[in-house]
Amino acid sequence: MIQKTPLHQNHIELGARMVEFAGWSMPIQYKGLREEHMCTRTQVGIFDVSHMGEIRISGERAEETAEWLTSNYVGRLENGQAQYSLLTNENGGIVDDVIVYCVEKGKDYFICVNASNTNKDFAWMQEHNKGAKISNESPFWGQIAVQGPKAMDLIEDIFGEEVKKIPSFYFSNTQWQGAHCMIARTGYTGEDGCEIFISAEKALLLWKTLLEQGAKYHIQPIGLGARDTLRTEMKYSLYGHEIDDHRNPYEAGLGWVVKPQQKDFIGKNKIVAKKEEGLKNKLVGFKMLDKAIPRQEYKVFSLEENEIGFVTSGTMSPCLNEGIGIAYVLQEFADEGTEFLIQIRQKKWKAQVVKTPFVKPGGA
């Protein structure tokens, strides 16, 4: 049975084209991908991300459990801080990428996980619990992302001027219309903004309030299509594309959230050993030199036409008006400026490794 977010009916009323995504009925676009993408880069867009999962680790052994489950150093978090992290497995692969929110240091950690992995992650956490209470709170939460150069002006209008003072990767608890809210300065577009966790029954009211009060900022609701092109322009990983249960974090360019010096965690030795052996592949950003659009799973070849990797994500960049992509390639082809070929159907098209992110926040 396909699940629906608390905002589902309103998406239909707004004319969204709905698709199934990770077992949920979600809007892929409203007015059009390009327009929604550029609105987020230049004004403000709101995203229904209520399909994401929320899992709480609490109790006296919460920190110990969170440290064991995740690759980043939970011990550095103070109340109100958040960190990007990975759930890792015994083979050194990635179970999921997550954000850990420290509600009460040592005792209460709120973890946002990918929609497609919520049940898998919850089971994984329970299986490797070190004695904490682990609760899947996903049904009780709605989540709305507000992103773009004008995002925090709108949030200030609704929640008051204090919210503008929340630094990046911090969050604040507040009340709105009698509901508990958690406003987190996190997001998946590269733009300024926040993600708001609110009780599921008040999510629709908040969504409509954002649209109404955001009219003066030219706000638009944004679908999954533009969410994907926005994150691709930033070279942000997506589970099932750049990362999965078999991918080493260092290969994926996520070594910055792996802290083997500070702590022990699941799969630590295998993750570090693979790095010390020397990584064969590297995740790179590339742009097309020929007029073509790369897509996931397209093969990558050297100029001598030897197979050297594959595309994990690709699109026509709305900001740059050219084909861009992310790919795993052999290390010797990973330097900026290196040219290679992307096979699109029966033909090979030229591309070049470039510096990422592909665009600067604020519309390139």
Residue 348 is predicted with a pLDDT of 97
Nearest residue to 213 (alpha-carbon basis) of 144, 159, 171, 143: 159
- Which tokens hold the place of 109? 């950690």
Arch. (CATH architecture) of 278-354: Beta Barrel (2.40)
Give me the residue spans of the domains in the chain: 3-50+139-233, 53-135, 278-354
> How confident is the prediction for the chain on average, in pLDDT?
97
Q: Is the pLDDT of residue 268 over 90?
A: yes
What sign for the dihedral angle of Cα 185, 23, 315, 8?
negative
What lies within 8 Å, CB to CB, of 257 at 6+ separation is: 71, 72, 83, 84, 85, 86, 249
- Which tokens hold the place of 292? 């073509």
- Which tokens hold the place of 80? 């109100």
Q: Is the pLDDT of residue 313 over 80?
A: yes
What lies within 8 Å, CB to CB, of 345 at 6+ separation is: none
Burial of 215 (0-12, 13-18, 19+ CB in 10 A): exposed
As a whole number of angstroms, the distance between CA 98 and CA 157 comes to 29
CATH of 53-135, one of 3.30.70.1400, 3.40.50.300, 3.50.50.60, 3.30.420.40: 3.30.70.1400
Give the confidence band of 6 by pLDDT, cuts at 50, 70, 90.
Answer: very high
Q: Is the pLDDT of residue 363 over 50?
A: no
- Which tokens hold the place of 231? 């994150």
- The model's pLDDT over 125-184, given as tens digits with 9 standing for 90+, comes to 999 999 999 999 999 999 999 999 999 999 999 999 999 999 999 999 999 999 999 999
Per residue, the 3-state secondary structure of 149-193, as one string, reads: CCHHHHHHHHHCHHHHHCCCCEEEEEEECCEEEEEECCCCCCCCE
Residue 364 is predicted with a pLDDT of 37
* Superfamily, domain 3-50+139-233: Probable tRNA modification gtpase trme; domain 1 (3.30.1360.120)
